[in-house]
Amino acid sequence: MSFLVEFMRNPLTVGAVQASGSALAEVATATVPATGSPVVLELGPGTGAFTAPVQRRLAGSGRHIAIELNPRFAAKLAMLHPAVDVVTGNAAALRGVLAQRGVDSVDVVISGLPWAAFDRKLQQDVLSEVVAVMHPAGVFTTFAYVHARWAPPARRLLRSLQDRFEEVVVSRTVWKNLPPALVYFCRRPVPVTTEERRDSAVAASGSADGQTFH
């Protein structure tokens, strides 16, 4: 119900009328190592559909940072998962957020962002930030709804992922999710060029204005 309320308040930033289901969450978070001390970055966690399985896989090890634009979702997430470093902020300013926390790179990035609601520039800005903060051996996962897979925003997202990662693998359809979805597993990020890094830094600086990071 809280997800529906927030969608009605601002559909362009929430992007869905309900949280992802447990079946989709298990597939999307399967890349989180169950051993070692990985740094996991979660984008757009919403009410925490992916957060709980990430925490279960980490089992008290590693570091889990979640960036959520909606302050009400962020507050609820921080209350439910005190072990997670919840940031109220913009995903287009990842490097600034991580720099404040002394994090140079992350091993896993899991996205629940509403890509279909993003215009081309915002989509590119966020992906540039993702590539810039990832470890060379890291993995980025995001998902798309099957019914919208061939819509222009979804096709643009897939092309952008293929441009920015050497390997993009598409999962089988998760039929138990409502609506059915599939997951993109993206590995070996392509280094960001100097020009892209400069443009992204300018965009991140502008996006960070007026934002409060906790």
Percent of the chain with pLDDT over 90: 67
85-88, strands of its sheet edge to edge: 85-88, 63-68, 39-43, 106-111, 134-145, 181-189, 165-170
Distance CA 10, CA 171 (A): 30
Mean pLDDT for each consecutive 10-residue tract of the chain (214 residues)? 44 46 94 95 94 95 96 94 96 95 96 89 94 96 90 90 96 91 96 56 49 35
Domains of the chain with CATH codes: 2-208 (3.40.50.150)
Average pLDDT, the chain: 84
